[in-house]
Amino acid sequence: MTDCPIPSGTSPGAPRKRLLIRTWGCQMNVYDSARMADVLAPLGYAPTEDPAEADMVVLNTCHIREKASEKVFSDLGRLRETKKERAAAGKATIIAVAGCVAQAEGAEITARAPWVDMVLGPQTYHRLPEMVARVARAAGQVIETDFPADDKFDHLPEAGAPQGPVAFLTVQEGCDKFCSFCVVPYTRGAEFSRPVQSVLAEARRLVAQGAREVALLGQNVNAYHGEAPDGRVWGLGRLLRALAEIPGLERLRYATSHPRDMDDDLIAAHGEVPALMPFLHLPVQSGSDRVLAAMNRGHKAELFRRVVDRLREARPDIALSSDFIVGHPGETAADHDATMKLVEEVGFALAYSFKYSPRPGTPAAGAPLQVPEAEKDARLQSLQALLRAQQAAFNADCVGRDCDVLVTGTGRHAGQLAARTPWLQPVHFTGPASLIGGLARVRLTAAHPNSLSATLDVQEHAAA
């Protein structure tokens, strides 16, 4: 961005401005928030957690379910008061709504919350400095929710250093699948893959800055089809193999995937790339073929079972996580039983389950045979009880295993370290702070509902 006017008061000697970014939703939004902070840093914005001292507040929103988008409006109500109080003290506040609610409900936001200064969709973050300048010149509300032809990745500055040994890297955005219930194709636009070179360069930089684990992100990450320097198109399996060659990059993950895009090469990569962690989030949504068809998922339950079997053949210790929706329009008690049966057969280490929430503009929202709320509640409860039991069983089964964990920081108690297992479980153990940022060899000793305890393999670390 060469022609962007820098707002006044941001020269190197000027007092720092404060920026508060609140993030809802998926890891993609977490990544985007970090990039927005990177874009605004050269304008003098430093982070704060306190709305009262924030010169600019960005709400990076999620539209996936109704609850998530309603929270934005209640937050905006509170921010209106803060903005008034700051104005009374002679301080201006820029309020921005970003993310998928901004994309989907831009006009409604400006109508319902006229104190919002700017509304910007996920593809326009590279234009933030220009928008801030326009607002600073009191140009009124600014709305940017187009899907621009230029690529935001070409215009954003390089990502800042990762906060710890885990870094997120967006390789793909958008979705062309149009599941009946989902807003993503409307809010994030068509599928787009970043070129291979740009992904590899960002990964190398992240590793040079201390990342040991890189998690590749995309709404449909395994549909990745990035252009390579040789002019060919690489799939995700090929990309993972190339990333695994980067010295110092010890762990790779990717999310979120679609069962239909688990191609042969990607499945094989799970067996052949040791850096690829034995944990995969693979949403299936339902175990009933009737509901899967109504959801426009483009596959049957059998395909999901087959993909899981092949993944387990390739990587016997792989653990699976998934997403489920109960109460999609037309779902019967028998359909729900089919979902329960699939869960029992597959066995999940972790899962997220939701009551179907009609999203305006999506095909399912207007469909007949909406499932009564009480029925959705009952189905969600039975499914969650089963999934909780499976998670507890998986965690219990891990006790006694020796494994490498990635140490992300200190734990809650003195001398305690916090880490992640290969299966993404949080784990705590006693050890020296010098281990933070790297891998440690531990024995898993106890399972709790959402985490594990471990002991450090002292011999291994004494020898090192």
For residue 184, the minimal CB distance to ligand 5AD (Å) is: 8
Pick what 177 binds: ligand SF4, ligand 5AD, none; C-beta below 5 to 8 Å, kind-dependent. ligand SF4
**Residue 357 near which of ligand 5AD, ligand SF4, none (CB within 5-8 Å, type-dependent):** ligand 5AD
Choose the stretch contacting ligand SF4; rule: CB under 6 A; options: 8-16, 84-92, 179-187, 299-307.
Answer: 179-187
How far is residue 440's CA from residue 431's CA, in Å, rounded to a whole number?
A: 9
CB of 194 to ligand 5AD, least distance (A): 21
d(CA 36, CA 129): 10
By CB under 6 A, is residue 28 in contact with ligand SF4?
no
Q: Give which of ligand 5AD, ligand SF4, none residue 356 binds (C-beta under 5 to 8 Å, depending on kind).
A: ligand 5AD
- Is residue 220 within the footprint of ligand SF4 (CB under 6 A)? yes
How many Å apart are CA 302 and CA 413, to the nearest integer? 46
Distance (Å, rounded) from C-alpha 304 to C-alpha 260?
Answer: 8
Q: 258 or 270: whose CB is closer to ligand 5AD? A: 258
CB of 222 to ligand SF4, least distance (A): 10
Binding partner of 220, given ligand SF4, ligand 5AD, none, CB within 5-8 angstroms per partner class? ligand SF4
Instruction: List the end-to-end C-alpha distance of the chain, in Å, as a whole number.
Output: 47
DSSP codes joined into one string, 184-209: HHHHT-S-EE--HHHHHHHHHHHHHT
3-state helix, strand, coil in the chain (%, to 5): 40, 20, 35
One-letter amino acid of 187? T
> Applying CB under 6 A, does 179 fall inside the site for ligand SF4?
yes
Q: Are 390 and 403 in contact (CB under 8 A)?
A: no
- CA–CA dist 20, 303 (Å, integer): 44
Q: Which is nearer to ligand SF4, 187 or 425 (CB)?
A: 187
CA angle 245, 248, 249 (to 5 degrees): 60
> What backbone phi and psi angles, to 5 degrees, belong to 443?
-110, 130
Structure tokens at 198: 């740009």
Nearer of residues 182 and 196 to ligand 5AD, judged by Cβ = 182
Binding footprint of ligand 5AD on the chain (CB under 6 A): 64-65, 181-182, 283, 285, 323, 325, 354, 356-357, 359
CB of 375 to ligand 5AD, least distance (A): 15
Interaction mask 252-291, ligand SF4, x per CB under 6 A = ------x---------------------------------
* 246 lies in the site for ligand SF4, by CB under 6 A: no
- The helix (H) or strand (E) run that includes residue 453 is strand 452-456
